[in-house]
Chain A
Amino acid sequence: DGGITQSPKYLFRKEGQNVTLSCEQNLNHDAMYWYRQDPGQGLRLIYYSQIVNDFQKGDIAEGYSVSREKKESFPLTVTSAQKNPTAFYLCASSILAGRDEQFFGPGTRLTVL
C-alpha cells in the first residue's frame, strides 16, 4: 500500500537536546512538507521541498533544519534553538508542490520536558 509514514508517534526529549523526526513516503511524490500544529491552531509551514536536494523555509523555520537526500525521505530536526518545540508535527507530500492535494502522515507528538 502506498502512503506516508512518520515515526515515532510520541517522542519525549529533554530541553536542550536536538531531535530528528522521520518522514517517509512511497507515493513517488516530488514535493514534501513539514507542518507544526499547536492546540486549537491550524497548520503552520516549517519547511518544504519541491524536489530532491532542494528545500525552502516556510513561515516558522527558525530552530528547525531539514534535508532531502532521497525522494522518499524528508527528516526534520528540531534543534535546541527552537524556543517552544512541544507540538504536533505533521509531514505531507504531493505530486507537485503547492497546487496538488497533500497526503499527510499520522503525525509525531513531541514533548520537550
Chain B
Amino acid sequence: GQNIDQPTEMTATEGAIVQINCTYQTSGFNGLFWYQQHAGEAPTFLSYNVLDGLEEKGRFSSFLSRSKGYSYLLLKELQMKDSASYLCAVPNQAGTALIFGKGTTLSVSS
C-alpha cells in the first residue's frame, strides 16, 4: 500500500526558516509533489521532485531522497502570508492519480 506522513502542525516567526518533512512509502515511485493550501481555498502547486536533490524556487525549496522515502519543503524568510497548510503527494500505484498526505498546518507569527 501507500502511506504518507507529515507533521500535523508547525509554528514559526516572521523572517525565520522552516523545514516541513514528508515521508512516504510507495511501490513504483513516480515523483513527489508539494502543494500550498490557504484555509478555505484550493491547493496550489509549489513543486515537483522526481530526482534526488534540492530544487530551489525563490523562497521555497524542495528536497527529495528516493532511497530514504523522504522529502522536505524549505521555506525561507517567512512571511505572514505563508501561514497555510502544506500538502505532500505522490502518484498512486497505477500512476493515474495523486495520493495526498494529511497536510502540515504552518502558523507564522510576528
Contact = CB atoms under 8 A, between A and B. Distances in A.
Given A98-B91, A104-B43, A107-B41, A50 B100 contact: no
Contact of B44 (A33, A40, A104): A104
Contacts of B92: 45, 98
Contacts of A88: 40
Contacts of B42: 90, 104-107
A41 interface: yes
Contacts of B70: none
B96 A98 contact: yes
8 contacts: A35-B100, A42-B103, A45-B97, A48-B97, A56-B96, A90-B42, A97-B96, A101-B45
Contacts, number: 63
Contacts of B41: 106-107
Interface of B: 4, 8, 30-31, 33, 40-45, 48, 87, 89, 91-92, 94-103, 105
A99 B91 CA distance: 6
B88 to A, nearest CB: 9
B87 A43 contact: yes
B27 to A, nearest CB: 14
A101 B94 contact: no
